[in-house]
Amino acid sequence: GNISDLGGPTANMYRLKCKDEKIEASCRRLSCVYPGICPNLGTSHKPLTKLYRRARQLKGVKHIFIASGLRYDLAVRDPEYIKELVTHHVGGRLKIAPEHTEDNTLSKMMKPGIGSYDQFKTLFERYSKQAGKEQYLIPYFISSHPGTTDKDMLNLALWLKRNKFKPDQVQAFIPTPMAIASAMYHSELNPLKKITRKSEAVKTPRSGQQRKLHKAFLRYHDPKNWDVLRQALRQMGRSDLIGNGEEHLVPYSRARNTLKSQLSRKNNNDFHHRISVKNTKKN
């Protein structure tokens, strides 16, 4: 049979640990991978690669897929692991969660920069081609996370369009118990940094109108969102992103397009009328 997922909450941190037990015992870091991957963290994926190979040899196992969250900033440290993953454990599509593109938001998610995603994508496509497989990455993004600004969401939407992504299912942030992001949401402070009277203020999209706008940026391609986006772009001073070209985020309104079409037809009619009159006079 098939194993739908082999992994934990993070698919590729199996047996990753500190290189030195003494350093580990005295470590006060909040995370081994934030704000960057700790130099004392062993990032070899060889034990995990070996586990995959052993699992594939089990009697009765036809396919093994990896469907849980992949930490791609760690994966790019071991290209052999990515090759193993892509060659044997992807069923055509692999879901990963960059969640955003802007450092301002990613830093509050404890996530790597979008550059790590780009590196992983390059390796993913290279090894898929070598394996003779047509496979795709399905990135997951979230809107209205604490600290996210309208400009952050606009930049994310532009990135999505440049990369030809049109997300169908998107999620808006909802505070949940025991999460650092929930602490940010309720306190409007950043607990990832030292809390003082001068601490960084974390503004969170709370109003229904702003949350709707942030979700609309993720689904920039949906005609239902175009009116909201056009209004927001004008308010943000980015009317240059409204138009019918590839460089634009959303098209002109239907009324604007109708007016342009009418003016174009009128100009053509006027032109043909002038030519007709001119030829008549000559005759």
Residues 135 and 189 in one domain: no
pTM of the model: 0.86
pLDDT higher than 90, residue 273: no
Residues 21 and 124 in one domain: yes
Residues 110 and 1 in one domain: yes
Residues 132 and 185 in one domain: no
pLDDT category at 7 given cuts 50, 70, 90 is confident
Average pLDDT of the residues in 174-183: 96
pLDDT higher than 90, residue 276: no
The pLDDT, as a whole number, for residue 254 is: 77
The pLDDT, as a whole number, for residue 197 is: 87
Interior angle at CA 6, CA 79 and CA 34, nearest 5? 55
Integer Cα distance of 61 and 4 in angstroms: 11
pLDDT category at 117 given cuts 50, 70, 90 is very high
The pLDDT, as a whole number, for residue 63 is: 94
The pLDDT, as a whole number, for residue 69 is: 87
Residues 5 and 136 in one domain: yes
Domain count, the chain: 2
Tell me the per-residue pLDDT of 262-272, one tens digit each, with 9 for 90 and over.
555 656 656 55
Average pLDDT of the residues in 3-9: 85
Sequence-ordered list of residues with C-beta below 8 angstroms from that of 133, at least 6 positions apart, any chain: 86, 87, 90, 92
Residues 104 and 192 in one domain: no
Q: Do the domain assignments include residue 76?
A: yes
Q: Do the domain assignments include residue 35?
A: yes
Residues 23 and 126 in one domain: yes
Residues 218 and 108 in one domain: no
Integer Cα distance of 279 and 225 in angstroms: 50
Query: What is the average pLDDT score of the chain?
Result: 91
Integer Cα distance of 97 and 227 in angstroms: 29
Q: Do the domain assignments include residue 16?
A: yes
Average pLDDT of the residues in 186-201: 91
Q: Do the domain assignments include residue 277?
A: no
Q: Do the domain assignments include residue 22?
A: yes
Per DSSP, the three-state class of 94 is strand
Q: Do the domain assignments include residue 203?
A: yes
Integer Cα distance of 84 and 86 in angstroms: 6
Q: Do the domain assignments include residue 190?
A: yes
Provide the domain limits for residue 76: 1-143
Residues 61 and 196 in one domain: no
Q: Do the domain assignments include residue 21?
A: yes
| C-alpha pair distances (Å), 79 with each of 44, 48, 91 | 10, 13, 19
Integer Cα distance of 141 and 111 in angstroms: 12
For residue 172, the cross-strand partners are 143
Average pLDDT of the residues in 216-234: 98
Give the single-character DSSP code of 35. Answer: S
Residues 5 and 127 in one domain: yes
Residues 196 and 243 in one domain: yes
The pLDDT, as a whole number, for residue 32 is: 96
Note if the bond before 35 is cis, omega within 30 degrees.
Answer: yes
Strands 2-3 and 63-64: parallel
For residue 55, the cross-strand partners are none
Residues 34 and 90 in one domain: yes
For residue 86, report the phi and psi dihedrals to the nearest 5 degrees.
Answer: -70, -35
Residue written as token pair 């969250």 = 69
Share of the chain above pLDDT 90, in %: 81
8 Å CB contact between 71 and 33: yes
